[in-house]
Structure 1
């Protein structure tokens, strides 16, 4: 995909990444910390992370097309280089989201028996606590890394796009509110 309505697709697709990565990170951390949130979200968490993961290479490919159609300078090259590093973070969000979903399902399966009303043996539930702690630590680490990386990529892209595209002083013909 190169152009959408005459505009470079990258300029439009980047908005998905800028919204989806922090949204997925927030949902992932909430689900990792609060099992009730994870149970309510259910399969939506890994599906959201999958959509986020898919949006990154689409945006990157559109960015590579755009890079070939703009003047090359150090800012554009830095943005492209930083953009290439986002896919592993999006992949991490997806993998940890699947893990949190799995841990939540497993914990629900070892909870009270729906037919007898009795709790599962403590030995069956015990591994859920270390897994939930590990999932929370991983969720925090990957989420912070992904959000920081999106910020760095976006900041470098804004600098590449706008570094000489405007004047710091208002033009004489500009309307003022």
Structure 2
């Protein structure tokens, strides 16, 4: 079963809004969690779950978009949008992997058995700050790639949908009253 039409509208135009909201929100959450582990601990399991829902929304939107592509006039703008849309899944997967890794590492450092080691000063090995920097740099890179890709895909989709579908002045709709 594929999601093609919802309430008379192509499902793609509805489902894509999940991607537009959830991917950048996940990107922001991953970056914040990577930079501030205390925030990651407060987010808890919500961090990887948010990224998982964002990841899952991408193929749903893509599948609905492929169905829509078969039901509209194909032109260069539609083809460009479809090509760009196929590139988001790896970015969303990267966000999920980073979210899960950040959650796992902060979860382990907040565990009850880690507390005595923290008080003794042995909980964080010397490599922990370096790993945090690597996680932050990776998170910023993947988050930036994901958000830029969402923007490019959305922009190309808007151009494909609206390039001849509106009047900048409104004169064509109501006639020239001048």
TM-score (norm 1): 0.90
Distance, in Å, in 2 between the alignment partners of 1:173 and 1:156 is 28
Which residue in the other structure is 1:3 paired with? 5
Distance, in Å, in 1 between the alignment partners of 2:108 and 2:120 is 14
Which residue in the other structure is 1:15 paired with? 17
Which residue in the other structure is 2:116 paired with? 113
Number of matched residues? Answer: 171
Which residue in the other structure is 1:152 paired with? 152
Distance, in Å, in 2 between the alignment partners of 1:52 and 1:113 is 37
Deviation track 1:112-158 (CA, whole Å, cap 9, x = no partner) reads 329xx832526x53232222111111100000000000000000000
Tell me the secondary structure at the aligned position of residue 79 of structure 1: helix
Which residue in the other structure is 2:78 paired with? 76
- The alignment's C-alpha RMSD in Å is 1.8
Which residue in the other structure is 1:91 paired with? 93
Gaps of 5+ in 1: none
TM-score (norm 2): 0.90
Which residue in the other structure is 2:143 paired with? 143
> How far is the alpha carbon of 1:77 from its aligned partner?
0.1
Distance, in Å, in 2 between the alignment partners of 1:9 and 1:48 is 21
Tell me the secondary structure at the aligned position of residue 168 of structure 1: coil
- Pair 1:62 & 2:64 matched: yes
Distance, in Å, in 1 between the alignment partners of 2:77 and 2:96 is 30
> How far is the alpha carbon of 1:100 from its aligned partner?
1.1
Moved over 6 A (4+): none
Distance, in Å, in 1 between the alignment partners of 2:119 and 2:89 is 45
Distance, in Å, in 2 between the alignment partners of 1:44 and 1:83 is 26
Task: Map 1:26-45 onto structure 2 (within 5 A).
Answer: 26-45=28-47
Which residue in the other structure is 1:170 paired with? 170
Distance, in Å, in 1 between the alignment partners of 2:77 and 2:159 is 7
Distance, in Å, in 1 between the alignment partners of 2:56 and 2:94 is 13
Distance, in Å, in 1 between the alignment partners of 2:120 and 2:66 is 55
Which residue in the other structure is 2:27 paired with? 25
